[in-house]
Structure 1
Amino acid sequence: MKKNKVFVFAILIFALVMAVFAFGLSTIKTDVAVRRPVNFPEIVQQGPALTVEGVTLGQKLFDDALLSKNGKIACASCHNQVDGYASKGIKINPGVNEAIHGTMNTPALMNLQWKTSFFRDGRESHLQNTAINALTSPAEMGETMDNVVKKLNASPVYKHYFKSVLGVDTIQQKDVTGVMEQYLLSLVSANSRYDKLVVKQEHTFNPAELEGFKLFKEKCASCHTGDLFTDESLRNIGTATGNTGSRKFKVPSLRNIEVTAPYFHDGRFQTLEEVMVHYATGVHQEKDLDPLMQTNGKAGIPMTEDEQKKVIAFLKTLTDHAFINKMTLQ
């Protein structure tokens, strides 16, 4: 009899867990602390407390085209997990309005808790506002926040979800952006072969990768600093973007760079080989060219073809296959 009771209890627990996964939500809130990787600095973005249910609901919104004006584009339409939350092969993603085009390549999403600013031009300092921009920009999802909230309140399913997760009877804008922020903050990428080398001391690099690592530290790490592989600065890297507007753009993280092509703010380069050639021989001598992009008074960072190949070999050790292929909640 005792064994039967234990068996029944186990079945009930299993059913409860499966229900949470099936519906993505539960009336029982499960706090989750996204752990700071030991090789990462202190967190910058102090967002809302994360719960499994809040992150799950945020992901549901991230994946739902209902939030766009025409019901055809979701956040995940441009930020694809398998592409490191970027858009493989697409220079500029189209939005809901064919007559209005964006000007910037879709940036990869990861490790957002450590960012000091967002977008290619660094114009935003609050993560929640990036979601509002995506939802309302005419070049992206083209909706208004009022309409987003109205559509969610008109959905019995979402009404139930928000009631279960946040305890609200009427969904408001802050509820929408809050759970979306929870999901974005959960996107932590820190499980590449590089991490296994520096954290676990697992010597998995081959000679070319090791040599590339040395070259990277010598030629690239002034901007792509630390284990986040970015100093979060805005820099002019000699891309000749014209004489109007800023020519300075965010230094991107190089994590998952192998899968996030095309590269640069306008998606001009399709391969890492093209990127390396730019730095070695294609940097334009401009008035406000960043000093780190000059060597002995000349534009560029000299690298032989062999050195370029070795740097690329190292960069590919930054791919976090668990992050791009599996559940991302840490």
Structure 2
Amino acid sequence: MSVTKEHKYFSGVFFLLVFLLGLFSCSKEDGMDITDKEESPYTLRQPALFPKAIESAIDPKTGLPSNPLTKAGVELGRRLFYDPLLSANKQVSCASCHHQDKAFSDGLALTTAGVSGKPLERHSPTLINLAWTDKGFFWDGGSTNLESQAFGPLTHADEMGMYLPVLVERLRADADYVELFHKAFGDLPSEHRTAMALSQFQRILVSADAPYDLYRRGEKPNILSASQLRGLNLVQQKCSSCHAGELFTDNNFHNNGIDDDFGDGSHEGIYWGRYRITYKPLDLGAFKTPTLRNVMVSAPYMHDGRFKTIDEVLHHYRFGIKHTPVTAKALYQNDGQVGIPMTDQEVADIKSFLNTLTDDTFLTNKEFSNPFK
């Protein structure tokens, strides 16, 4: 199912991720012999005005890239992303919860598409510009890179429910996958090479051709209407403390005042947000800032999908923010009142601008689509 989705962690899964993360610094000892003949580098798109991308996980021992992009690796990852073979019942793929036409979200608050049929406790996030994510993955940042993150959904009992030795056995029994893994990594399929390939595919999911981008790059300087230009200025004034820069996210974690009760730690602290990772008191109830890119096609919203429409989101920031000791300071006005003041006209202009962040090229790019169709 999902490959960048927040999960209800089990302790065993957490330790599994820690163990497997170490594998990525052991490629030489693992016998991986990757030659220039077997693969060609993949040039990641670096859009104008974007910050520098992170093209690979970094080996903590050497400080060098441990999973450089290659054409063979990206294509293998794309195939794996759409293949239900990776799930216990052979019916669930990563794409089951990440639909390209919805910016790789799924349009549901809490999906039941996993092998167990039970609703998850986190909303499926979009997969957009992940090569610029530098502060962790999942809604609480519980994984430091895409490679280690992949094992969460692969093994979670309510998602893909996969026993990793069985996954390796299946892939090695498939002659096509044996060939594809050899082209990409110079070796047989393995659990961590599976995660490496999935990560390579996700890193190339670049969205940078929305009407806003054409305006910013000067390719179509008159493409935005007066209302949309007003909305752009309003977003910069009122939202950029979190939805920052060309990425429209600071990739950080904030308590945005949607709750004032964070539970007692049951469900392994699922309501604690970032606090369950850092145990820093100010991180209680803080969740990852999603990008605003393609926001108008990726409803519902928030880490649990509680808001069905963008109108509900904007209403929350105007009138619904809860005052707590950990509510983000950026949500307070100079007089101490909580909330972001907006007139009805300003709301209309902001919504008009948000439509300019819909990237139809990204939503239909065949390089990102299902290779089995």
TM-score by length of 2: 0.77
Structure 1 position 60 matched with structure 2 position 72: no
The residue number in structure 1 matching 2:217 is 199
CA distance in 2, matches of 1:243, 1:167: 48
Cα distance in 2, alignment partners of residues 205 and 328 from structure 1: 28
- Bigger mean CA deviation after superposition, 57-66 or 197-206: 197-206
SS at match of 2:296: helix
Distance change in 2, residues 1:126/1:28 (3 Å): closer
Higher mean displacement: 201-210 or 187-196: 201-210
The letter for the 1-side match of 2:39 is: K
Matched to 1:249, the amino acid is F
**Residue 303 of structure 2 is aligned to residue 265 of structure 1:** yes
Q: Give the SS at the match of 1:299.
A: coil
| Alignment partner, residue 49 of structure 2 | 39
Query: Do structure 1's residue 173 and structure 2's residue 191 form an aligned pair?
Result: yes
The 1-side partners of 2:248 and 2:154 are apart by: 29
Which stretches in structure 1 are left out of the alignment for 5+ residues? 1-26
Q: Give the alignment partner of residue 234 of structure 1, picking from 253, 272, 275.
A: 253
Give the aligned partner of residue 115 of structure 1. 133
Judge conservation of contact 1:238–1:285 (CA < 8 Å) in 2. Answer: yes
Is 2:356 aligned against 1:317? yes
Rounded to whole Å, the distance in 2 between the matches of 1:182 and 1:201 is 30
For these two proteins, the number of residue pairs brought into alignment is: 300
Which SS does the other structure have where 2:89 is aligned?
A: coil
Measure the CA separation in 1 of the matches of 2:365 and 2:234. 32
Percent of aligned pairs with the same residue?
35
Aligned equivalents of 2:38, 2:349: Cα separation in 1: 50
Q: In the TM superposition, what is the alpha-carbon distance from 1:115 to its structure 2 partner?
A: 0.4
Alignment correspondent of 1:13: none
Alignment of 1:21-32 (within 5 A): 29-32=39-42
Q: 1:303 & 1:153 partners in 2: Cα distance?
A: 57
Partner of 1:154: 173
- 1:262-294 Cα distance to aligned partner (Å, 9 max, x none): 000110111111111111111111221100111
1:328 positional shift: 4.2
Q: Distance in 1 between matches of 2:173 and 2:128?
A: 32
Task: Say which one has the larger Rg.
Answer: 1
Deviation at 1:140?
Answer: 1.1
Helix, strand or coil for the counterpart of 1:58? Answer: helix
Report if the CA contact (8 A) 2:72-2:180 is conserved.
no
What's the offset of the Cα at 1:45?
5.3
TM-score w.r.t. length of structure 1: 0.87
The answer to whether the Cα contact below 8 Å between 2:106 and 2:124 also exists between their aligned partners in 1 is yes
Matching residue's letter, 1:267: G
Deviations 1:232-288 (A, max 9, x none): 111111111623223110011111111111000110111111111111111111221
Give the drift of 1:182. 1.0
In 2, the alpha carbon distance for the partners of 1:304 and 1:319 equals 24
Deviation at 1:57, TM superposition (A): 1.0
CA distance in 2, matches of 1:328, 1:298: 48
List aligned pairs for 1:186-225, cutoff 5 A.
Answer: 186-202=204-220, 203-225=222-244
Preserved contact between residue 189 and residue 323 of structure 1 (Cα < 8 Å): yes
Give the 3-state SS of the residue equivalent to 1:298 in structure 2. coil
Counterpart secondary structure, 1:177 = helix
Q: SS where residue 237 of structure 1 aligns?
A: coil
Separation of aligned partners in 2, 1:36 and 1:255? 16
Q: Hey, what does 2:16 align to over in structure 1?
A: none
Amino acid across the alignment from 1:326: N
Q: In structure 2, which of residues 327, 331, 334 is the aligned counterpart of residue 293 of structure 1?
A: 331
Q: Structure 2: how far apart are the matches of 1:43 and 1:173?
A: 26
Counterpart in the other structure of 1:106: 124
CA contact (8 A) 1:104 1:266 kept: yes
Contiguous gaps of at least 5 residues in structure 2: 1-36, 58-66, 264-271, 274-284, 369-373
SS in 1 for 2:366: coil
1:286-316 deviations in Å (ceiling 9; x for gaps): 2211001111211210111211111011111
